[in-house]
Structure formats: C-alpha cells, structure tokens
Amino acid sequence: MTSRTSARSTATLRLGTRASRLAHTQSQTVADAVTAASGVPVELVHISTEGDRSAAAIAQLGGTGVFVTAIRRALLEGTVDVAVHSYKDLPTAPEPGLVVAAVPPREDPRDALVARDRLTLGELPPGSRVGTGAPRRVAQLRALGLGLEVVPIRGNVDTRMARVVPGDLDAVVLARAGLARLGRLDVVTEVLDPLQVLPAPAQGALAVECRADDERTLQLLAALDDPGTRAAVLAERTTLAALEAGCSAPVAAHAELAEGEDGPELYLRASVTALDGSDGVRGSVTGPVGDAERLGRELAADLLDRGAAALVAAAR
C-alpha cells in the first residue's frame, strides 16, 4: 500500500448533521459505529436546515424534506462525506447523485405518550390537551373518539415535554425511538399499541447517506447496514410513495419480520386517516422479505381502491 493510499484509507470522514440534541446523538452513534468497524475517525459537521430555523408547522414549510435539503446540498457539494437522517424525514423520491448506503438496526418504531400524573391515553379525561406535531398522530388520536383536544406543537423533545410539566398540556405524543436514543424512556407513561396509533413509515429507522460515486465511503458504511430493517422500511416507504403522500400526510405504515413456512416474511400494515378522525382505511399484506417493494405497492393499491386517495387529497 502506498503512503497516499494509506492516508486516504484513514482520512477523517465528515458527517453532516443537524445540531439538535437528538440529531447529534443519532449521528454520533453512527460515527462511533463507523470508527469501531473500520478505525476511520469521523468528524461531525453541524448544518442548519429550514426546519430548524422556522417555528412554522412542517406542513406549512412544505412538508417532506425541510430537515434534509441543506444537508443533502452539503453532501453533493462535497462539504461533508456522510449524512445521517431520521429516515421518516426523507422524501420518497431518490436524490440524484446520492444513495442510502446503510440502514442500521431500527429502534422500536412505536409512538409513546408522556402524560401528567403518569396517566395512560385511556385514563386522560375528555377535554385533555394532547400535543403532537404530526398530522398522522392528530388524525389517529381523533379517530379513537376519546374526546381529547389535539394541539399542534413544534420543537425538540425537551421543548415538547416541557409543555406537560408544569406546562399547558396534559400530554404529548412522541416517537419512542427518539426518547430511547436520548436515554429518556423513564418519562414514557405508555407505549401506544399500533392497533390504536400505527407508526409513521420508517419511524425509528436511520438513513445513512453518501454520494453514489464515493466508493470508499460506500464500503465503510456497508458494515452498518441491517438487511431486515432495510426491507421493512422499503415496504413502508413504497406504500407511502404509491399513495402519492408525503411525510406530513396522515399516512401510517409498519412492517414486521416474521418466520413463515417458506422463510422470513414481512407483515406490512398501513392506514390513511381523515384529519378530523371521522374516516379512515386500514389494510395489511404478508409476503417474502425479498418482495418488500411489491408488497408496498400492493397494499397501497388496496387502500386506494377503498378510498385512500380522497383522504390524502383532503389532508392536502
């Protein structure tokens, strides 16, 4: 090995990340995994995104992509070599010149309730104010018919939880995965059953992205990829894409791996719910892990046949 090749193989990787505590924690986890697998040092580079700079609702900012556009631009320009995204924030359309090189093992994708007095969702009295920033959660909470007042909120995890104790809300709903990564599962009063509140497509998963022509980085990141998580996320996001809905639409999808008679299978569930909770369609499909994309399209077609298109259009 020449000295030039040796230097290149150990050169520091620059990892672009949002500066929020959760984004930084997620990115540091990936950075540590790269270094542990390869010995290559990784430097975090903070990048401000449109979603970070504005207090407006995500839907008002244009929905899909508000947390990733600036980071992807830095990747394409060569300012950074790697980006770590919450996979659910990524647009479903591929970005020319970039590739998701690794999908690490997923955290529990379910939603979690953080409520006053350690109450569960069913114990909150009618009229309780429950905060969430996701139209999907708004729609599904209203559909439960518990008489809750669902309040739109923005901000990082700590800001949202501060609205509960001693704030103006009775509870907030957050992704359990984020609380787990921050070491804050102690505040969770209930992990919500997917039969009540189905998670967002790709919730709990990370997408580790790099330039498609960066062979060195592609090889370094390959060790982090979890095929089962990648297949589950592909099925969920294919459903979302086929419904022609973005990450701010009231669409939920969750795929689980199970052992079938002929080998590993995916059990994929999805739903589309009216924002006022008055209507909705749900469905499920099962098939081989290798058919993840087909399963996603098949389930989306079934939901569209049963009225999902009108619900997505109304939500826009």
| 274 belongs to a structural domain | yes
CA distance 173 to 175: 7
Does residue 186 carry a catalytic annotation? Answer: no
Is the link from the previous residue into 288 a cis peptide, with omega within 30 of 0? no
| 23 belongs to a structural domain | yes
The DSSP secondary structure of 113-172, one letter per residue, reads EEEGGG--GGGSPTT-EEEES-HHHHHHHHHTTS--EEEE--S-HHHHHHTTSSSS-SEE
Do 100 and 210 share a structural domain? Answer: yes
- Looking at the structure of the chain, the number of domains it has is 3
| 83 belongs to a structural domain | yes
Q: Which of 81, 89, 111, 214 is catalytic?
A: 89
Do 8 and 100 share a structural domain? Answer: yes
Do 176 and 143 share a structural domain? Answer: yes
Do 270 and 297 share a structural domain? Answer: yes
Do 292 and 180 share a structural domain? Answer: no
DSSP state, 19? Answer: S
| 258 belongs to a structural domain | yes
Q: Are 124 and 102 in contact (CB under 8 A)?
A: no
Q: Are 242 and 120 in contact (CB under 8 A)?
A: no
Do 213 and 70 share a structural domain? Answer: yes
| 264 belongs to a structural domain | yes
pLDDT, residue 167, reads 85
| 220 belongs to a structural domain | yes
Q: Which two tokens stand for residue 6?
A: 């040796």
Do 240 and 220 share a structural domain? Answer: no
Q: Which two tokens stand for residue 249?
A: 């639409």
Q: Are 69 and 51 in contact (CB under 8 A)?
A: no
Could you list the residue range(s) of the whole structural domain that residue 89 is in?
3-104+205-225
Do 290 and 170 share a structural domain? Answer: no
The number of beta carbons lying within 10 Å of the beta carbon of residue 64 is 22
Do 83 and 131 share a structural domain? Answer: no
CATH assignment of the domain containing 300 = 3.30.160.40
- Block means of pLDDT (10 residues each) for the chain, 316 residues, are 49 94 96 97 89 47 66 96 95 95 98 97 97 94 97 91 92 97 97 96 98 97 98 98 84 94 92 96 97 98 95 86
Do 88 and 16 share a structural domain? Answer: yes
Instruction: Say what the pTM is.
Output: 0.90
Do 169 and 93 share a structural domain? Answer: no
pLDDT, residue 61, reads 40
| 198 belongs to a structural domain | no
Do 98 and 115 share a structural domain? Answer: no
pLDDT, residue 8, reads 53
| 199 belongs to a structural domain | no
CA distance 127 to 246: 30
Q: Which two tokens stand for residue 63?
A: 């929905």
CATH assignment of the domain containing 161 = 3.40.190.10
